[in-house]
């Protein structure tokens, strides 16, 4: 536990009072999983306004992979603020944008020359990836996967393969989007079924020559932390090559060392045509991007891409520092260690009588358990899942749930978290689940 903690004035700030204010000021469409207001955070720990400490297994939904408040990032951003906070790259550009693009172009999978554009949010990156794919191919169609999540903009929602809560009441959505099953062996959905569904699309719904791209998350995030196997990713790459389609890998939640590689696509040994990135790329500062093959990225005409805040100089210098930290602190290796640490402990919990843990999944430090009744995959238990998340927070552990059935608990600890903190969080989880 941290010793040098910033004091919190619990006499003047109460979670309940702030929640009451939030309910009056913020629309109900903006959900908050926990009714606890953050006051201070360092590395893998958060303190609320009442001074209560929490072990953080959420990291702002896979954003602070490098931990809360890393001084190396903070100092870089402070130095940039002393120079300027904004000029707009499309008006008077700045070197940090170019430098970050150069590094990401080198890190992206494959040997083909790359180019990168920076934006502000993950959804904005997805929107631009689709624009680029359509411009490069001259085709309108996009194939996405059931259970996938690609954002809350209109195109993002159209691509997202889950109705509630993301799409309810917001249609109609952009046309030309088609969904096929994502392979989930635990639910009986094989890779062959998913590939056969694509073939069926070409027969019944859209000709292959009208499809611009296939987009997928190498590990589905909101969908439940299901990982596509290298074999399946390779099959998609071959399918796209066969039909002249582009492959877009959505690395927004999986990127920047989370899965034991800088990008999860590296596990498959393939080269995507385009990748979307965001979340952990700047340690909490808003920035996103599209990285792609240079000839594909150049398909859009000048002025067709961009945005006033796209590639904020604060996000760019933070992003450069995050890449330094990933290298210096060996965070890819650390992600694998964390995955092994969690898997060993969760497997022991499952074997010792916690049969509600139906499945344990981990790719690096992207870890999840599926909560079911009587250990049966076809009996999801979303009510129990919500109960565990709520009770864990009361006991001092921040968790997130996900999954198309609402029964998955995901673990996204900071890659800089020491084993002591990880163990403490798992102790809390086990105690809560054994009540």
Domain parsing of the chain, residue ranges? 15-66+330-433, 73-328
pLDDT digits (tens, 9 = 90+) for 62-93: 999 999 999 999 999 999 999 999 999 999 99
Determine whether 1 is exposed, middle or buried from the number of CB atoms within 10 Å of its CB (0-12, 13-18, 19+).
exposed
**Tokens, residue 250:** 């959505």
Q: Which of 262, 307, 319 is nearest to 97 (CA)?
A: 319
Q: Which of 383, 392, 350 is nearest to 400 (CA)?
A: 392
What does the pLDDT profile of the chain (435 residues) look like in tens digits?
444 455 555 557 899 999 999 999 999 999 998 999 999 999 999 999 999 999 999 999 999 999 999 999 999 999 999 999 999 999 999 999 999 999 999 999 999 999 999 999 999 999 999 999 999 999 999 999 999 999 999 999 999 999 988 999 998 999 999 999 999 999 999 999 999 999 999 999 999 999 999 999 999 999 999 999 999 999 999 999 999 999 999 999 999 999 999 999 999 999 999 999 999 999 999 999 999 999 999 999 999 999 999 999 999 999 999 999 999 999 999 999 999 999 999 999 999 999 999 999 999 999 999 999 999 999 999 999 999 999 999 999 999 999 999 999 999 999 999 999 999 999 999 999 998
CATH number among 3.30.230.10, 3.10.129.10, 3.50.40.10, 3.40.640.10, domain 73-328: 3.40.640.10
CATH numeric code, 15-66+330-433 = 3.90.1150.10
Q: What pTM, to 2 d.p., does this model score?
A: 0.95
Contact predicate 415/365, CB 8 Å: yes
> Is the fold of 15-66+330-433 the same as that of 73-328?
no
Q: Distance (Å, rounded) from C-alpha 101 to C-alpha 291?
A: 8
DSSP track, 204-271: HT--GGGEEEEEE-SB-TTTT-PBPPHHHHHHHHHHHHHHT-EEEEE-TTTTTTTTSSSSGGGGGT--
């Amino acid at each position: 536990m941290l010793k040098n903690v910033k004091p919190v004035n619990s006499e003047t700030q109460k979670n309940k009072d702030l929640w009451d204010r939030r309910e009056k000021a913020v629309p109900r469409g903006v959900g908050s999983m926990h009714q606890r207001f953050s006051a201070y955070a360092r590395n893998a720990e958060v303190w609320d306004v009442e001074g209560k400490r929490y072990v953080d297994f959420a990291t702002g939904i896979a954003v602070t992979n490098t931990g809360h408040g890393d001084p190396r990032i903070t100092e870089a951003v402070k130095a940039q603020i002393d120079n300027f906070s904004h000029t707009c790259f499309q008006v008077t550009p700045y070197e940090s944008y170019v430098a970050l693009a150069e590094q990401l172009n080198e890190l992206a999978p494959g040997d083909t020359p790359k180019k990168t554009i920076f934006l502000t949010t993950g959804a904005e990156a997805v929107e631009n990836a689709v624009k680029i794919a359509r411009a490069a191919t001259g085709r309108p169609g996009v194939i996405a996967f059931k259970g996938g999540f690609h954002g809350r903009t209109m195109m993002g929602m159209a691509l997202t393969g889950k109705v509630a809560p993301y799409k309810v009441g917001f249609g109609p959505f952009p046309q030309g989007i088609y969904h096929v099953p994502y392979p989930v062996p635990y639910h009986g959905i094989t890779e062959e079924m998913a590939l056969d569904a694509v073939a069926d699309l070409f027969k019944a719904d859209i000709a292959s020559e009208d499809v611009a791209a296939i987009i997928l998350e190498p590990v589905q995030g909101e969908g439940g932390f299901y990982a596509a196997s290298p074999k399946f990713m390779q099959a998609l790459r071959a399918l796209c090559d066969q039909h002249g389609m582009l492959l877009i890998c959505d690395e927004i939640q999986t990127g920047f060392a989370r899965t034991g590689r800088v990008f999860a696509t590296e596990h498959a040994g393939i080269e995507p045509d385009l990748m979307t990135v965001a979340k952990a790329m700047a340690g909490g500062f808003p920035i996103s991007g599209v990285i792609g093959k240079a000839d594909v990225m150049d398909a859009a005409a000048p002025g067709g891409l961009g945005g006033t805040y796209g590639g904020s100089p604060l996000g760019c210098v933070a992003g450069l520092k995050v890449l330094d930290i990933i290298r210096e602190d060996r965070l890819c290796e650390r992600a694998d260690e964390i995955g092994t640490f969690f898997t060993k402990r969760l497997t022991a919990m499952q074997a010792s009588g916690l049969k509600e843990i139906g499945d344990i999944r981990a790719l690096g430090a992207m870890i999840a358990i599926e909560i079911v009744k009587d250990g049966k995959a076809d009996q999801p238990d979303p009510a129990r899942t919500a109960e565990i998340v709520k009770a864990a927070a009361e006991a001092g552990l921040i968790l997130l749930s996900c999954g198309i059935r609402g029964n998955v608990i995901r673990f996204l600890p900071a890659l800089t978290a020491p084993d002591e903190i990880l163990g403490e969080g798992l102790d809390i989880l086990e105690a809560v689940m054994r009540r």
